[in-house]
Amino acid sequence: MREVVERRQQLAVRQVPGGAEDHQRRRVNRQSLKPLDERVLIAGLVLDSSAPGEAVAWALGGAVAGTTYTALFLALAALTRHAVVIGLLFVLLWEGLLGGLLSGIRWLAIGAWGQEIAASVSDAVTAPGTGLLYAVLAATILTVGSLWFAGDRLRSFTLRGDE
């Protein structure tokens, strides 16, 4: 494999040898993933079956916030080797600690955007006050921008061998 990397040859997918565990994981890898919002909806219905509108609202808000978080963390992974640490610090410090102490943080908090979208679907969800249009635009801009950035970085990515 090292010779291939040093000569910068491209291999077809069938030429790359599979790992020992590939045959064991085939059942998992060959199936499509269940959407996360479906699980959130079911969990919401289990917790409070008397308010299905609230469960749908939280599922929609969770899907939007989850997509935005995923795009942001993908961009962080393309930017640095420590994306997990930076992502955890973002969620714990920015969204959790500072978001609970300072009310202005909600304008830059992905969780608040998802909660605003959920509040627009159901009156049972408390709106953080950012406005629906702002929440949708901010989530869309951050998602598209993060995906563009990660794609741009990965397009210029070169694989290097051990030196």
**CB neighbours of 97 closer than 8 A, spacing ≥ 6?**
none
Count Cα neighbours of 32 within 13 Å in the Cβ-side half-sphere. 3
Share of the chain above pLDDT 70, in %: 70
Question: Sorting pLDDT into bands at 50, 70 and 90, what band is 16?
Answer: low
Provide mean pLDDT across the span 93-114.
85
Residue 132 has pLDDT above 90, yes or no: yes
Provide mean pLDDT across the span 46-50.
73
Residue 46's alpha-carbon distances to 42, 50, 52, 55, in angstroms, are: 6, 9, 10, 9
Alpha carbon 123 to chain centroid distance? 26
Two structure tokens written together for 91:
């969620």
- Would you kindly state where each structural domain of the chain is located, as residue ranges? 27-155
pLDDT attached to residue 92: 86
pLDDT attached to residue 35: 56
Residue 8 has pLDDT above 60, yes or no: no
